[in-house]
Chain A
Amino acid sequence: MDLLIFEAPILMVQASMDGILLGILFALIAYGMALQWGVMNIINIAQGDLVILGGYIAYFMYLYGIHPAWGVIVSPIIMYFVGVGIYKLVINKVVDRDLFISILATFGISILFMQLMNFAFGADVVLAVSGYGTTMLFDNSVTLPNSKIFAAVISIIFAIGLIIYMKKSKLGRAIRATAQNARAAKILGVDTEKVYAATFGINAALCGVAGALISITFTIHPYMGLPYTIRSFMIVIVAGLGNLPGVAISGMGLGVFEEFADYILGTEFRIGSVFLLLVLILVYRRFKLAKKREYLK
């Protein structure tokens, strides 16, 4: 095969760098998903749509002349309240029910958001221009947009900040206690309802940060949400719930995989390969567990 990537190996460096920077962003979204999955036992199909909504907030700031990087501060604040709102309206009614019900309900929210965003912002692919320029490496053969580096740094800052917050603060302790045993936490005086709302809000806020970063580094479009949901789901099942270093590493791995798939298979198969990889990972884990007569649950 005469693929460009094998003829010019420097492209592999390019793809890996891009992949790692992209993967850090994925890991941030996956962190939010792991958090609410672990605490509330809900898989949020609307995760990706929350990301895109966060991206549009940054994009609108850009349209009104504010530098989109400020979206990193504004977007999570707005998204926190959006998240709490979703929780109060829908999620609290499905939190104790069958998992399938919550998947379907969040799927409904996802369709709703997709379409509302389509009405509000139009069906064009947009991006917020940050004007950060590019860094050249290795004799100008590898180019890294500074906005991607900025995105990765901000994601790491937010992730570390949240880890510290979860360890030290009162709410963080309450969230961790609820994740361990909701009933016991309730008996000991934790208002689990509040904890759930806060968890979902924090998850949405993380999505908001990630979305704002995506809007300045890549592009956003109302229908692009579902791939982000699937990516974060994939990262969480590879890493396991509550394994934060694992989330970071598998996020970067996924980013690198995607960049290579993009070069080798072509851009039109990029999203398809992500979804296929998800199925393959699930099947691999299923066969591995089947040897011990266990199954994914």
Chain B
Amino acid sequence: MKKNIFLYSALLIFGLIAPFIFPAFKVQLSILCVLIVLAITWNIQGGEMGYNSFGNILFYGLGMYLCASVQVGMFFPLAEWTESGGEKTFVHTPVQFFQGIAVGLAVAAVIPAIVAGLIGYSILGLRGHYFAIGTLGLGVAAGEISGGIEIIGAGQGFTTPPFPNVGSLEARGEFFYYCSFVALVLTFIAVKSIYSTRFKLVLNAIRDNEDKAEAMGIQTMKYKIIGWMISAFFCGLAGGIMGGLVGYIDSTDVAFDGREMGVFMVLMAILGGKGTLWGPVIGATIFHIFKEGFWTFFLGWQYVALGVLIVVIVIYFPEGIMGWLREKYPEKFGEVVDEADRKAQVELK
């Protein structure tokens, strides 16, 4: 336990001072934080609950559009803003900007969670691959439909309010880094505390055998919806931050980007190890480093590399890094190992 406190405080301090150690990588670090949040949120229902969703990008994109719309709509007419297409006819004062983004992020987190709650009863009744394809359909449909709505920019995109001039050139990067870092810490704390309660056991029971869990008297639907809502809450929050960070929202290329973010979050969680607390964090970190490498050295070929990466990970590492470690060192994961049994197994092999 004591070791863990050291580890957590070391990570926290590292997170707080990271933008000063690596000033050139502030944007990358912020994206990393967002990616970790996404991987953790996907893992809540993909890994713990066993409901493999391809559609969590829905909440991410929703949060992104909501945050930007609230930020603009609080002070200026939204339709004129999107029509001007980023021309600076309206300028946010610093106070307006920070008020806007605070309210925007709150809305971006809460509304997706409500949406998840509303559609949860219908969608979570699907199982297995029907759930996967159904959510994939939801995510793509959201992207296609939002690309046709005029007030949020339709096909030409939506420019988020530019960061106000507060004196320092570094301020924008630092602001968004700390936003995403706080979101990451909040997500991690929330998920860690959830994982130490009965709730997590219920989710695992649903994953292992939903019919049996129901027969034991667990109202599985209620827990599934709550699990999905928690996932949507942080997913929307991450989307809101990412929208501000990117500065420009396009329906299918940035917000509901099923081909990139939507796959990334699944892949990161699987790479790290589904159904573990640290798996998504490690998976997202490694994935981000690899991805940036690919994007830099194989420019133009990155999607080819991504496609190959997906196939290789899925075929050869379906258990992920944490799963592999768990198999190798079960004692470290609190599993009781019968030495004789283990030796016998080794001999059998």
B123 and A283 contact, CB distance less than 8 A = yes
B304 and A269 contact, CB distance less than 8 A = no
B314 and A108 contact, CB distance less than 8 A = yes
**Residues of A in contact with B, size category:** 35 or more
Give the contacting residue for A269; candidates B129, B148, B308; CB below 8 A. B148
B226 CB within 8 Å of chain A: no
Residues of chain A contacted by B147 (CB below 8 angstroms): 268, 272
Query: What 1/0 mask marks residues of chain A from 95 to 130 whose CB sits below 8 Å from any chain B CB?
Result: 001111101110111111111101100000000000
Residues of chain A contacted by B122 (CB below 8 angstroms): 283, 286-287
CA distance A103 to B318 in the complex (A): 13
Residues of chain A contacted by B52 (CB below 8 angstroms): 100, 103
Give the contacting residue for B128; candidates A99, A110, A269; CB below 8 A. A99
A230 CB within 8 Å of chain B: yes
B148 and A108 contact, CB distance less than 8 A = no
A108 and B311 contact, CB distance less than 8 A = yes
- Given A104-B266, A226-B140, also A297-B310 (CB < 8 A): no
B148 and A112 contact, CB distance less than 8 A = no
Residues of chain A contacted by B266 (CB below 8 angstroms): 104
Chain A: which residue is nearest B148 at the CB level? A268
B303 and A101 contact, CB distance less than 8 A = no
Q: How far is the CB of A196 from chain B (nearest CB, A)?
A: 16
B286 CB within 8 Å of chain A: no
A78 CB within 8 Å of chain B: no
Residues of chain B contacted by A282 (CB below 8 angstroms): 126, 130, 133-134, 137
Residues of chain A contacted by B133 (CB below 8 angstroms): 43, 103, 230, 233, 278, 282
Residues of chain A contacted by B125 (CB below 8 angstroms): 283, 286-287, 290, 295
A264 CB within 8 Å of chain B: no
Q: How far is the CB of A123 from chain B (nearest CB, A)?
A: 12
A296 and B145 contact, CB distance less than 8 A = no
- Given A104-B266, A112-B308, also A272-B141 (CB < 8 A): yes
B132 and A103 contact, CB distance less than 8 A = yes
- Given A43-B129, A275-B144, A297-B128, also A111-B259 (CB < 8 A): yes
Chain B: which residue is nearest A97 at the CB level? B318
**Residues of B in contact with A, size category:** 35 or more
- Given A105-B315, A283-B122, A296-B126, also A272-B137 (CB < 8 A): no
- Given A43-B133, A266-B148, also A105-B310 (CB < 8 A): yes
A112 and B307 contact, CB distance less than 8 A = yes
A94 and B314 contact, CB distance less than 8 A = yes
Q: How far is the CB of B56 from chain A (nearest CB, A)?
A: 14
Q: How far is the CB of A261 from chain B (nearest CB, A)?
A: 12
CA distance A290 to B137 in the complex (A): 21
- Given A111-B310, A115-B303, A286-B122, also A100-B132 (CB < 8 A): yes
A13 CB within 8 Å of chain B: no
CA distance A287 to B126 in the complex (A): 9
- Residues 157 to 175 of chain A near chain B (Cβ within 8 Å): none
Chain A: which residue is nearest B129 at the CB level? A99
A271 CB within 8 Å of chain B: yes
Query: What 1/0 mask marks residues of chain B from 119 to 163 whose CB sits below 8 Å from any chain A CB?
Result: 000110111111011101110110111011000001100000000
B311 and A105 contact, CB distance less than 8 A = yes
Residues of chain A contacted by B310 (CB below 8 angstroms): 104-105, 107-108, 111
Known: A286-B130, A295-B126. 9 other contacts (CB 8 A): A104-B310, A233-B133, A268-B147, A275-B138, A275-B144, A283-B125, A295-B127, A297-B128, A297-B130
A-B contact pairs, 14 of them (CB 8 A): A43-B133, A100-B52, A103-B129, A109-B307, A112-B303, A268-B144, A269-B144, A272-B145, A272-B147, A272-B148, A282-B133, A286-B130, A296-B127, A296-B130
Query: Could you tell me which A residues sit within 8 Å of B by CB distance?
Result: 43, 90, 93-94, 97-101, 103-105, 107-116, 118-119, 226, 230, 233, 237, 266, 268-269, 271-273, 275-276, 278-279, 282-283, 286-287, 290, 295-297
